[in-house]
Chains A and B, each alone.
Chain A
Amino acid sequence: MDQFTLNLIVVGITFAIYIGIAVWARAGSTSEFYAAGQGVHPVLNGMATGADWMSAASFISMAGIIAMAGAGGYEQSAFLMGWTGGYVLLALLLAPYLRKFGKFTVPEFIGDRFYSGGARLLAVICLIVISVTYVIGQMRGVGVTFGRFLEVSTDTGLYIGAAIVFAYAVFGGMKGITYTQVAQYVVLIIAYTIPAIFISMQLTGNFFPQLGLIGSYAPGGGDVAFLAKLDQVVTELGFRAYTSDSMNMFNMFLFTMSLMIGTAGLPHVIIRFFTVPKVADARSSAGWALVFIALLYTVAPAVGSMARLNLTTTMWPNAVAGNALDGDAISRAEIDSNPNLNWVRTWETTGLLAMEDKNGDGLIQYYNDKSEAMNAIAAERGWAGNELTKVDNDMMVLANPEIAQLPGWVIALVAAGALAAALSTAAGLLLAISSAISHDLIKGSINPNISEKGEMLAARISMAFAIVVATYLGLNPPGFAAQTVALAFGLAAATIFPVLMMGIFSKRINKEGAIAGMLVGLVFTAVYIFIYKGWFFIPGTNNLEDIPANYMFGISPLSIGTVGAVLNFATAYIVSGATKEPPVEVQDLVESIRIPKGAGAATHH
């Protein structure tokens, strides 16, 4: 059976499972549609949160982003710490209290706590901007993954993905999404882990990739540490060492913080904690979510760095046992004839890997041709520039099953895993968007007297509408999808997180303070990003070139959410101090969400 048929079968089976779950978990009430009836077991909710959280970017791209970074892999640890540390903030500062509040959406809490329809509306706007920008990247991810594994165009892939999400999100709501996410988590974690274990066994003899990362390099005889070997080989070729210090520690600090508080402020993550039965479950469920996320995130740096060493020793066979440059680079003839190097040719045909014998010596020299020292060596040896002209980040994950010579069904499983990661995140985001429309806008302000049945219909129509808009934006993305995700994290950090935290931990912050704080956070963060990335991400409309020399105090637009959050907190405190304190019933509301007792009773309203 050929690989394509195998991919179709495995992906087809997983899709059948998702649809089956959708039919079984059909939502019968608004409580089920918005919050899965608040009856999800905390461990299952943790799993669903893991799938919801880990996107196509986490699954396909993150390991490569870390491994192939020009500044070395260490600086990119911001992603690893940032995207996990946010769960500590969620568990300690937000999830239990918002679960006690017991309603369905993030704007609903902001509206009630700050006794203001205006604050609720502003929160809806922030939520929609955050979630829509985030979902564009997911829809692209679905399209690209389909395109790569099922040999259809990106656009066709996007339509197929949208149709699958439509089937289980419109009918199942949060209940359908939750249980499909549990299944999607299982698929994606198996798909990620199997190749990682085999690569780790081959390179370090360790079953656990986490131990392999700090283990010794087996093919070289076992007396050199794996990371030391990697540093030696890449620096020999003129690249910065994998474990090098950060180029800008201050910016790395702010970027990590921005990702952490951005994670804790993402509405589609927060609403997952509305689905568990009790306050105590919300706390432990955040822990379970992090267990399931950590299974992938602690493996990712091992996967990336091992794939990079594999690629480098493939290009310089002498590097396995000694110094890369003591021997010749690999020859084109070797790549074309050695059956163990089939994967190189496979990935060349996809365009993710490209090489060109610039000096016509029949060998493929891979080195950093931006390094002065390397260019001196190159001139001496008659090289005409780096001949491994393209290595896509995504290859570091996608090519691993073939590099490790694993059977075809593992490759098919990786395809299904990548699709599961993209679909589950898209569905979670779409639910956050549609519930903000049907519950906060329609039920909350346009038509408060809408019946339960009417609201269910409105919720389903909003979901269908959100999918159509997301599909359209996925087909016609404004600028690069990756840049828009930076906006989502920055805004979540600068708007939603501070306002929620102050609403819980301070009784003194009032309506005026919350609205002023959100506005300042929103405008400051968005404007700073637009100045460098282009207004509304339209290419060419940026005021300053997106390079570190232009940044204010060296702060990159990716890290600015932390500053936006600080401004939000400061503005809210100053404005609240100058205006009158919240009414007694709001202060009582704050008292009540701080006490776990009575959460079950608060759910129906």
Chain B
Amino acid sequence: MADKSSSNAYWKANVRIITISLAIWFVASFGLGIILRPMLKGISVGGADLGFWMAQNGSIYVFLVLIFAYAARMNKLDREHGVEE
């Protein structure tokens, strides 16, 4: 196993990536899809508004990109800290 200070740095970097990812997760679904929908009625997406489309389809695409981006960044981080399998 890597030494203590290196593994602390690894964990801190991981938590930082998770926090940013969850902020995007929240904004895409609860933000644009629910809370901000009434304010964004002006932006239309094919017969309805942006909030409607985010809630029915858009947020799911964001989730997909988020997970794969997280997996890729973590693979890179694992290698940088020498903790990959």
Binding site for B on A (CB under 8 A): 73-74, 77, 80-81, 84-85, 87-88, 91-93, 96, 210, 213-216, 225-229, 243, 245-246, 249, 252-253, 256-257, 278-280, 283-284, 286-287, 290-291, 294, 297-298, 301, 505, 591-592, 594-600
Contacts and interface: CB of A to CB of B under 8 A. Distances in A.
A225 B56 contact: no
Interface string B54-85: 01110111011011101100110010001111
A84 B67 CA distance: 11
A226 B1 CA distance: 58
Given A85-B29, A249-B34, A298-B60, A595 B67 contact: no
A290 B56 contact: no
A92 B46 contact: no
B25 A80 contact: no
B7 A595 contact: yes
Contact of A252 (B1, B2, B34, B49): B34
B1 A213 contact: no
B49 to A, nearest CB: 7
Given A246-B34, A253-B35, A595-B1, A294 B71 contact: no
A596 B78 contact: yes
Given A256-B34, A279-B85, A91 B67 contact: yes
Given A287-B71, A294-B60, 8 more contacts: A73-B56, A81-B33, A93-B18, A227-B46, A243-B48, A246-B34, A287-B67, A595-B10
Interface of B: 1-2, 7, 10-11, 14-15, 18, 21-22, 25, 29-30, 33-35, 37-38, 45-49, 52-53, 55-57, 59-61, 63-64, 66-68, 70-71, 74-75, 78, 82-85
A89 to B, nearest CB: 8
Contacts of B11: 594
Given A213-B46, A243-B52, A85 B85 contact: no
A88 B21 contact: yes
A597 B2 CA distance: 9
A81 B59 contact: yes
Contacts of B56: 73-74, 77, 80, 213, 301
5 contacts: A77-B56, A88-B67, A227-B52, A245-B37, A301-B57
